[in-house]
Structure 1
Amino acid sequence: MRVLVVEDDEMIREGIVEYLSEFGYSVVEASDGEAAINQFDESTHLVILDIQIPFKNGLEVLKEIREKSNLPVLILTAFSDETYKIDAFTNLADGYIEKPFSLSLLKVRVDALIQKYYGTHDYFEYRGAEVDFKRYTARLNGKLVDMNPKELEILKFLIENEGYALTREQILNHVWKGTDDVPYDRVIDVYIKELRKKLQLNCITTIRNVGYRLERR
């Protein structure tokens, strides 16, 4: 998951970046409000945002983010004044942590927000492939990949049943349920071929005379 850390204190910022990176997060950093807006894009999953930063303060950055996205934002603040907390929540922050704070506590809060917003099967990562099923976006080695919605729906169904073999008929019934234009079952082979090609998913294996199984190695 891609986390944007916005903090002007270099020691605190680098500490957060290094700590979260150890746990598999992809972390991007910014030292001021303008840099934060420039770094923020659709690939960002969570923002850790300090209030007192140069050029644009944290609340201004939060307002701009909310014009584009409802992704989780965790506020860092040295202020105990309730006015700042009220302003943050008025602008739809998802929580705050007062400085000084422990990195382990910060990670717990980040993990909880990621789980709340993206859930177990709303985000998939395998080697260089990343898929966000809520946004219907996919990347390979950081680059956006043009995906057919049905390809992503098939992939999600395989993920939800990871380790189990699924027949073509099961996939068809799930992905095309409630529609009148159910394709011939061999169309699934085409979609699987494209998934493997576009996202380099060697974790999808063919089960002869049955169908397909996804199993991360």
Structure 2
Amino acid sequence: MKFLVVEDNARVSAALRAALNDQGLEAVCADTGKAAIELLDTNPDAVLLDVDLPDCDGFTLCSAMRASSSVPILVTTARSDHASRVRGLDLGADDYLVKPYNLAELLARVRAVMRRRRPTTGSAAADAVPGDLILAGPVRIDLWERVVMINGFPVDLSDEEFSILAALARRPGETLDFEQLAEEILRTKRMTLQESIHRYIASLRQRLGDPHQLEAVEGSGYRLTLAGTV
């Protein structure tokens, strides 16, 4: 996996490159916006973008990168104010991480972005189109981007958990049996299917914060209970 590190501080850039190399990852570095645009042609897997650059505004650079590429962009900056976060995300960044940050967290966020961009593995989400959303109280499910948010905060789900949730959310109030739910994860895992479903449901309940939304139907399976459904 190759990172494009856009950072004008040579010490920070060198340290980040060394840390990534220690993890078996490749890093190419740019200390200006002009160099970053040129290196974007090397097809990095992700961009780590500091917005304080000597030759241009990093937010403008983020917008320009997004206009020409779908590469995941993570803004890494000391700017922690709300306005900067919103601006970065609105201009096309996939995530926003405030310095100083932990390398493990950075890599976890990169993996989360890559999972959201990965082709779908479950049939319920496969038919999604841009803007295909399901709202259930504080829970927002974006079937196209494969993103779940609760009260505006993202929930990091595995592909299997998302596929199960998407299937249930597509058919609110309806009971889906174990075989139907198993179809949603069959391409990614080969396990004892009923035990797998129980485990993923338990994890989803914990992550969603309301265990009553995912209701067990004795002898049948599970159903997602949304506000206003019976």
Pair 1:93 & 2:93 matched: yes
Alpha carbons 2:4, 2:40 under 8 Å: kept: yes
Letter of the 1:107 partner, please give it. Answer: L
Q: 5 Å matches for 1:1-217? A: 1-41=1-41, 43-118=43-118
* Unaligned 5+ runs, structure 2: 122-186, 189-230
Paired with 1:37 and 1:115, the residues of 2 have a C-alpha distance of 25
Letter of the 2:51 partner, please give it. Answer: I
Secondary structure of the residue aligned to 1:40 is helix
* Unaligned 5+ runs, structure 1: 122-159, 162-217
Per the TM alignment, residue 52 of structure 1 is displaced from its structure 2 partner at its CA by: 0.7
Letter of the 2:13 partner, please give it. Answer: R
Q: CA RMSD in A?
A: 2.3
Alpha carbons 2:32, 2:53 under 8 Å: kept: yes
Alpha carbons 1:20, 1:107 under 8 Å: kept: no
Paired with 1:54 and 1:20, the residues of 2 have a C-alpha distance of 24
Alpha carbons 2:9, 2:31 under 8 Å: kept: yes
**Length-normalised TM-score, structure 2:** 0.49
Q: Which residue of 2 aligns with 1:153?
A: none
Q: Percent identity?
A: 32
Aligned residues: 123
Paired with 1:59 and 1:90, the residues of 2 have a C-alpha distance of 10
Alpha carbons 2:89, 2:96 under 8 Å: kept: no
Paired with 2:98 and 2:112, the residues of 1 have a C-alpha distance of 17
Paired with 1:42 and 1:118, the residues of 2 have a C-alpha distance of 20
Per the TM alignment, residue 54 of structure 1 is displaced from its structure 2 partner at its CA by: 1.1
Letter of the 2:6 partner, please give it. Answer: V
Alpha carbons 1:46, 1:73 under 8 Å: kept: yes
